Amino acid sequence: MPHIFVNDLKPGSKVNQYFLITKKERRRTRGGKDYLDITLADRTGSLGGKIWAESLEQLDPLFEAGQFAGVAGKVDSYQDERQLTIERIKGTHLIPPEQLEASHFDPGLLVPSSPLDPLELWNEILYWVETEIDPLDLKTLTLSLLQTHKEAWIIRPAAKKYHHAYRGGLMEHTHRVARLTRMTSDIFPDLNRGLLLAGAILHDLGKIKEIEDGLAAQNSFEGQLLGHIVLGWEMVREAARTIVWDDPRLLTRLEHIILAHHGQLEFGSPVLPQTREALVVHFLDDLEGKLKMMGDHLEQDQGEPDFTDWHRVLKRKLLKNKKPEPPTEYCRTSTG
């Protein structure tokens, strides 16, 4: 049976194929029964799954998060979202190699990854830093952090779930925000272009430490307790100690961009944006992330005829990108 990609699964679809298990949590219903809340993924996206109480004890020992697994079940719709009710599941480490080979198990279909080449994006960012960031101390800091964390930066996801949640996603998101800030500084030339570009490149640096390397995006211990904003600020400050700054306030303004890029205290930023550059990075980061969420949701296209399902984070349905219907042909009758 050929693999049906997550983005193509519809309510009522039956599946019997392999997925990457990216989340596994034991929860309890209001009626007091335990169940497993699962997230399954392939290279096109992710899908929530449930293992209910009657199958839990039998299936729980057969797989873990971060593993590939063979899964059988049925796709349902719950509160306008697709959900897989899992009937059977087994980690591939428990499946004999000859059976895996016979079933055409292909990990390349299952690991979500950026459609772009992260290394190409990294090289372009490097060129922007070399040619557009001044003064030298700010350029040196940005280059140092890029070179030091290159390997992790080009493979980490930008998030665990909601946007760019796949390998290479962090570099893709970083590149787009940096590109948007370059365009913005063309329109508003009184902005500090070098500071703005450095802030855009480094704003999510802490996600390298927040999210562990692996097939399933999981928070590290320090990532869970401290978060990427604080971790990124610490990484910048540590690297900056080896540089003599002509204007120490420039470093503080860069740190402010990182600390303020979520824009609101309730969203995790310890300070509100108090410079134009910090405000620009905040809004463009938010814009790029939300446009990505909308684009991903529109690709799934599972709701009413004209609108998608409800998006839990954006708190709305989206109008689908439908091609316009051809005009109705009609004839004029002459009355002479």
Close Cβ partners of 177 (under 8 Å, ≥ 6 residues apart): 200, 203, 281, 284, 285, 288
Within 13 Å and on the Cβ side, how many CA atoms surround 119?
1
59-108 pLDDT, tens digit per residue, is: 999 999 989 999 999 999 887 788 999 999 999 999 999 999 888 899 88
The set of long-range contacts for 140-148, using a CB threshold of 8 Å and a minimum separation of 24, is: 140/243, 141/198, 141/236, 141/239, 141/240, 141/243, 141/251, 141/254, 142/198, 142/201, 142/202, 144/239, 144/242, 145/202, 145/205, 145/235, 145/236, 145/239, 146/122, 146/201, 148/239
Report the pLDDT value the prediction gives residue 253, as an integer from 0 to 100. 98
Q: Quote the CA–CA distance of 49 and 293 in Å, as a whole number.
A: 20
* CATH architecture of the region 6-109: Beta Barrel (2.40)
Report the pLDDT value the prediction gives residue 71, as an integer from 0 to 100. 97
**φ and ψ of 246, to 5 deg:** -65, -35
Report the pLDDT value the prediction gives residue 69, as an integer from 0 to 100. 95
Report the pLDDT value the prediction gives residue 113, as an integer from 0 to 100. 84
The verdict on pTM exceeding 0.85 is no
Domain 118-294 classified CATH 1.10.3470? no
* 207 token code pair: 């996600």
CA proximity to 82, closest of 288, 289, 299, 291: 299
The answer to whether 125 and 180 have CB atoms below 8 angstroms apart is no
Report the pLDDT value the prediction gives residue 325, as an integer from 0 to 100. 60
Report the pLDDT value the prediction gives residue 296, as an integer from 0 to 100. 86
Query: How far out from the chain centre does Cα 142 lie?
Result: 23
Kindly report, as residue ranges, where domains of CATH 1.10.3210 are found in the chain.
118-294
Q: DSSP character for 79?
A: T
In this structure, how many other beta carbons lie within 10 angstroms of the beta carbon of residue 259? 21
Kindly report, as residue ranges, where domains of CATH 2.40.50.140 are found in the chain.
6-109
Angle CA(111)–CA(112)–CA(117) in degrees, nearest 5? 110
Query: What residues form DSSP beta bridges with 307?
Result: 319
Residues of the chain with pLDDT under 50: 330-336
- β strands within the chain, DSSP E: 14-28, 34-42, 45-51, 68-78, 81-91
Report the pLDDT value the prediction gives residue 215, as an integer from 0 to 100. 65
